[in-house]
Amino acid sequence: MKIERSGKQAITSFESLYQYWQRVFSVALLNKRFYQELANWYFWAMDQVSFPDDVEKNTAIRNATSLIRLITRVIFIWFIKEKQLVPDILFDRREMRRILKTFADTPDAHSYYNAILQNLFFGTLNQKMNERRFAEDTQHYVKADHGVKNLLRYKELFSISAPEVLALFANIPFLNGGLFDCLDKDAVDTGKHVFVDGFTRNAAKRAIVPDLLFFRDETTWDLNALYGTKNKTYTVKGLFDILAAYKFTIAENTPIEEEIALDPELLGKVFENLLASYNPETQTTARKQTGSFYTPREIVNYMVDESLIAYLGNCLNCDSCDGHDSHDLATIPSYQSHHENHINHSSDRLRHLLAYTDAPHQFTDAEVATLITALHAAKILDPACGSGAFPMGMLHKMVHILTKLDPANVRWRETQRRQAIQETEQAFLLGNKEERDKRLLEINDVFEENASDYGRKLYLIENGIYGVDIQPIAIQISKLRVFISLIVDQQVNPAKENLGVRALPNLETKFVAANTLIGLEKPPAQANLFENKAIMALEEQLKDLRHRYFSAKTRKAKMACQHADRALRQQIAQLLVHDNQWTPESARQLVSFDPYDQNAKADFFDPEWMFGLKEGFDIVIGNPPYVQLQKMKTQSSLLAKQGFATYSKLSDVYCLFYEKGLHVLKENGILCYITSNSWMRTQYGELLRTYFAEHTNPLQLLNFENAQIFESAIVESNILLTQKTRFQNQLKAVTVTDDFDKTTLLADYFQQKHITLIALDKNGWIVGDTDTLVLKQKIEHDSVLLKEWNIEINRGLTLGFSDAFIINTKRKEEFLKNSNNRNYIKPLLRGKDVQKFFYKWDDCYLIVIKSGWTNQHRGTTAPQTFIASMLPELYNHLKHIGLTVTGKGKGLFDRDDQGDYWWELRKCAYYDDFEKPKIIWGELSNEPKFAYDEQKHFLNNTVFMITGECLKYLLAILNSRLSKWYFEQISTTSGMGTNRWLKYKIEQMPIKRISPAEQQPFEVLVDHILAAKQQNPAADTRALEAELDRLVYALYGLTEAEITIVEGKNA
């Protein structure tokens, strides 16, 4: 590592050297550097590789998904190298020159990926150790080997003999698990062989990945176009050269204890960013802001803890109700205090249980039994799982709890034994002894032959952790993280079959690629998915089959399950249509869901059909996507038909995820999301705020505002914990500000700082301390909302193509040589021109040909002929700009914002208001910047205006410090902390209505300020503004203490 001796980063003392090494050995910095190197490799590789296009025709998306899939497989192998399960020789470039015929001979040589990695992936890790061999190569394919994707290929690429090749892979265990399933397969509908991975003897369909992508010394490469930068130097090197430079640990770090190495949790950060980089909605941002899409570990841990505390607390409290309905008990006044104390006591003990300490738990034996049963029964969903951060966070914390409650796994093992006995009895009526004995023997093997956490993880995953994502590759990454988590707890024993390594489970029925927000179109008034008894019986068979698939270990067993699954789906679809309950299209949609097709995603989501869950989930947790619905086009129209109560065209898709998440919860279930906090105050958020208040019981709200608490840019966001039950007016909330110490746990900060919001205002949820809320209410008392005054509030004009319609003075004077043009050129102000009490006109004029003007005056003359003859200079100017200025939206002629013809501005009902006296202000500002205009300026759409009565009095109030403080309580921001002074928020400003005589002192001060600013925009008017503030404080009756709050002074 290079130590700088000069410049800003110079190391000149022992202290600076110490701080340098602290940075060098920072896990966060290590992860960031690793991700940047991997991202550079990924973008470099995008143009170097080639994969079959049978499924995905778009080259960029095909290469992106294939490369991400390749990285997942390679990194998994790199982790298991730590357990000595894969030999180093396979990654040794010197050995490869001996083993392969054409290894890295030329820049485009590409034998390594096919001969070594594909054979490792598909012919080794996905094949039992004693069944490995090459697919037979003859003039014609051997029928028995044709399409069998777990046999080795490419003998011709090796310099060594076939037995020597097999010896390279001989001591690598069979892992199963789906990660190394080759995705080349026969299409179900056509029977045609479809290539995705390109593991084939057919050279035309073979994947091409150059050897230099794996083995290359560091070199510079121009990635500026991909990153959206200019003249920046980027370096790239071979993937194995990157990986070899880091220590990989198979121990998973906790949030409070980090080894200086790359642990499995790192995968989430890496892949969340790579996923974002090829997603069309995020790719530009992802490349410019690498590191900003992953939910930080501290956030995941907090949300997991609070969700589990709420869920387990409910289980303990319900158990303490002695069978009574907790809803009924809660209505009894004498019960409420006792019940609340019991909840608080349980919560404190649960926090103690979840803490990463060695302190013993504080629960009785009966409570321990309740908690273990609750963990076993818990059904947990992440509806937008991405790279699996929340499912993994849940898994790790539940394992931690079980370790504390049941360190020897005595209760947990017995729980699994009882379930196995019960399930075999249910599936085989009187009980199939052979099946039962097999299951019990397997349970014994799980606990006896592996680390104690393995059995905890395996059965938690099998029984209750689920994930959905619309991107199939995201599902692959989530499954990868589960596989790594399981493999780290396996004990290697060379004396045992498969080195003592248990085959990984199949997670296709636990993590599915589907559109979470689109439901199945069920028959009207049908609560359950099916009501026909014959269909219900088949559904139970399907549920049992998918449960057994989880543990299927051989290709033969998995294929048998898949064929049986397909046959059952076909039978159910036929019965549905025959029963006249479902339309053929709905039945087709149902049967088309194939959980085993890793290339596909379902265009709907239904927990009962996909997971066999009729009652719903106990916990829904996640970080759903943030995308404005109006940007989703056809998808938005489809969502509009789903009947969401929170849908609005101006809304964001995360609002629908809230509603969907609550819909799939059990009664009393817990939802915990981190999302943008825009819903708390925006107009479109009113539907969601109303939904929360009417259909849920919000429990906790953390509002991150104007504070960058974590490096991953968690700005302007919130964490909401809510329960699916009636609203109880006891929401605990806190705004996380820059007083948060990053060494403090979020839970501790919340406990110390939170307030209780008893009443939730549909106009916006305000999170502040008690003094803030009291002051806000005082300002509002006996005031009149601005929108109820005799005024009009409007926005400036949306031009659609500013280059054409905005001109300068020189151009204006040329046009005025024709006097006909005089009435169509107006002075213009933009948002950046408007300051507090004044504006700086920036030599801008607007060509104003109003919508409807042409048709109103042209008579029978053709429109274009008319405008060309009436206003030839303006027409020619506009046409010239439209033809020569390109690359901006739809262009002048086809833009959306136009009148009847392209030379006209869009329709506007208040054109005349622009030439009236008015208050004007820009949309974005952290200060009130309201100005007064009597010069008939027109405005563009970055400026708002108020016309009507009492304008100078209103200007005084709006520009006051009180106005600034109040607006900060109710406003929305740009997402980067800047307030947005939007119409619907300004309308909510509470203004004291006083007589004209009482308004006069305010108006006199405003006139003095306006006169001073008109004479000299830089004039110092602070004394006059302070006097104005004093008048405003007196008007609203503020005390000295309240003025201190407004002005932000230290008490």
Q: What is the mean pLDDT of residues 607-615?
A: 90
199 Cβ contact list (under 8 Å, min separation 6): 114, 118, 121, 122, 149, 153, 182, 184, 206, 207
Q: What is the pLDDT of residues 195-238, one digit of tens each?
A: 999 999 888 999 999 999 999 999 999 998 888 788 999 999 99
User: What per-residue confidence (pLDDT) applies to 1049?
Assistant: 58
Specify the pairing of strand 717-723 against strand 697-704: antiparallel
pLDDT over 50 (residue 17): no
DSSP one-letter string for 696-725 = -EEEEEEEE-S---STTT--SEEEEEEESS
Is the pLDDT higher at 953 or at 185?
Answer: 953
Tokens of 676: 């943008």
Separation of alpha carbons 373 and 366, rounded Å: 11
Q: Measured between alpha carbons, how far is residue 537 from residues 523, 527, 531, 608 in Å?
A: 19, 17, 10, 14
Please report the pLDDT score of residue 525 as a whole number: 52
Give the number of other CB atoms < 10 A from CB of residue 251: 12
**Is the pLDDT score of 437 beyond 90?**
no
Query: What's the mean pLDDT in 500-512?
Result: 90
Please, which residues have CB within 8 angstroms of residue 697's CB and are 6 or more apart in sequence? 722, 723, 724, 725, 726, 727, 728
343 Cβ contact list (under 8 Å, min separation 6): 313, 317
Of the ranges 290-299, 453-462, 471-480, which one carries the lowest mean pLDDT score?
290-299
pLDDT at 431 over 60: no
Compute the radius of gyration of the chain from its Cα atoms: 33
User: For 22-28, what is the mean pLDDT?
Assistant: 46
pLDDT at res. 263: 59
Q: What is the pLDDT of residues 806-847, one digit of tens each?
A: 999 999 999 999 999 999 999 999 999 999 999 999 999 999
Averaged confidence pLDDT in the chain: 85
Q: Which of 505-514, 590-599, 643-652, 862-871 has the lowest mean pLDDT?
A: 590-599
pLDDT of residue 294: 62
pLDDT band at 439 (very low <50, low <70, confident <90, very high): confident
Tell me the sheet residues that pair with 794. Answer: 945
Query: Residue 938: helix, strand or coil by DSSP?
Result: strand
Could you tell me the strand order of the sheet in which 845-847 lies? 806-807, 845-847, 825-829, 938-939
At 122 the pLDDT is: 93
Contacts of 117 (CB under 8 A, 6+ apart): 70, 73, 74
Global confidence as pTM: 0.80
The three-class DSSP label of residue 641 is coil
Q: Would you list the domain boundaries of the chain?
A: 89-209, 363-611
Residue 227 is predicted with a pLDDT of 81
In percent, how much of the chain has pLDDT > 70? 85
C-alpha 509/C-alpha 612 separation (Å) is 10
**Residue 503 CB contacts under 8 Å (≥ 6 apart), including other chains:** 174, 175, 176, 177, 553
pLDDT at 862: 96
In DSSP notation, 880-937 reads HHHHH--SSTTHHHH-SS--SSTTSPPP-TTGGGGGS-EEEEESB-SS--EEEE-S--
Higher local confidence (pLDDT), 14 or 955 = 955
Residue 1038, pLDDT > 70, answer yes
What is the reported pLDDT for 600? 84
pLDDT digits (tens, 9 = 90+) for 175-200: 986 788 898 887 666 668 889 999 99
Q: Under a CB-based contact definition with an 8 Å cutoff, are residues 113 and 206 in contact? A: no
Please report, rounded to a whole number, the percentage of residues in the chain having pLDDT higher than 90.
51
The amino acid sitting at 336 is Q
Query: Is the pLDDT assigned to residue 738 strictly greater than 90?
Result: no
Higher-scoring residue by pLDDT: 613, 263: 613
| Identity of residue 399 | V
Helix or strand (DSSP H, E) at 309: helix 297-319
The DSSP code for 275 is H
For residue 8, the model assigns a pLDDT of 52
Mean pLDDT value across residues 971-980? 69
Whole-angstrom distance, CA of residue 342 vs CA of residue 486: 37
What confidence tens digit (pLDDT) does each residue in 766-820 have?
A: 887 778 888 998 999 999 999 999 999 999 999 989 999 999 999 999 999 999 9
CA 549 – CA 178 distance, rounded (Å): 11
Of 225-234, 375-384, 871-880, the poorest mean pLDDT is in 225-234
pLDDT tens profile 233-267: 999 999 999 988 877 765 555 554 444 455 556 66
**Is the pLDDT reported for residue 721 higher than 70?**
yes
Distance of alpha carbon 872 from the chain centroid: 53
What was the pLDDT predicted at 12? 54
Q: What is the pLDDT of residues 664-679, one digit of tens each?
A: 999 999 999 999 888 9
Asked whether the predicted pLDDT for residue 949 surpasses 60, the reply is: yes
How does residue 325 score in pLDDT terms, banded at 50, 70 and 90?
A: very low
Give 712's contacts (C-beta < 8 A, 6+ positions apart). 291, 292, 293, 294, 295, 296
